Amino acid sequence: MADALAICQSELFQGLPCWRLRLPQGDTVLVAEHGAHVLSWVAAGRERLFLSGHSHFNGRDAIRGGVPVCWPQFNARGALPKHGFARNLPWVADVPPVLTADSAEASLSLRSGPDTMAVWPQAFDARVCVALSPGCLRVTLGVDNSGTQPLAFTGALHTYLAVDDVAQARLTGLGGQPEWDALSDTHGTAADTLYFPGSFDRVYHAAAAPLTLHDGVQRLAIEQSADWAHSVVWTPGAANAAGMADMAPGSHQRMLCVEAAQVFEPISVPAHGQWQGWQQFNVR
């Protein structure tokens, strides 16, 4: 008897059109068409992503949690709205999923049009590919410059990881990397082990080897392609989280963002050129 294949099916989540990939062994991932936003990744029987129960699921605003696609601008470093427009727009699943017995892959696309050209006069074809295999998730952002002028952008895969208690979690693998502390606006060198007793917001030069998130007995390996120059580590802390309308009280204790990012120097894609960068997670 042939092995069962993975499944890709459409469903609604909080009223948003989504696609769910499911492997025969049980791992799943849920991706919303709004923002090409990964909302859930269940691996080894556990939810691995944090999603705020107070998020706005109205098809206009950004969603708090999961994997927001921040593009074509990181944070407020430019003339666009914070983190760009990609996470606020509908993407289209216009390529058939690729399904096997132990893997599933789905892609969504966003192309330049009147709405994007009004705020960012660049011709582009962006795509997000979500690839699921047992204990592993890879999210890839690809950008094609469909115009005649160079295309420059910053951005991030702004991944919110679920943790039991962020104050007890630790992250290893960035030791020795250049570090910018956004809270104190100071530069330094990363410690071998990062701890999160309160608010934490730092940008690192990306490490070549995988990072490891230690969350109690749980271990998660975190990798990113060299196409992203930086890794961002962020958790708001109690005081900052209290001012976020889309965060439930105390929920900041259950999340840590580890992002593949381009923060300082923009990526430049020549006319008719292509770029892609990925972030990958493996349960250990």
Instruction: Give per-residue pLDDT as tens, 72-115.
Output: 999 999 999 999 999 999 999 999 999 999 999 999 999 999 99
* DSSP annotation of 241: H
> Phi, psi at residue 239, to the nearest 5°?
-65, -45
The CATH number of the structural domain formed by 11-283 is 2.70.98.10
Q: What is the mean pLDDT of the chain?
A: 97
Catalytic member of 105, 179, 223, 259: 259
In this structure, of 2-11, 57-66, 86-95, 204-213, the range with the lowest mean pLDDT score is: 2-11
Place of tokens 């944070």: 75
Residue-wise pLDDT for 242-277, tens only, equals 999 999 999 999 999 999 999 999 999 999 999 999
Mean pLDDT to the nearest integer, 115-119: 96
Q: What's the CA gap between 212 and 283, in Å, rounded?
A: 10
Residue 230 known to be catalytic: no
CA 249/CA 251 separation, integer angstroms: 6
179 assigned to active site = no
Phi-psi category of residue 53: left, alpha or beta, with phi > 0 → left and psi -120 to 50 → alpha: alpha
Please tell me which residue in 158, 223, 230, 252 is annotated as part of the active site.
158
275: β partners: 143
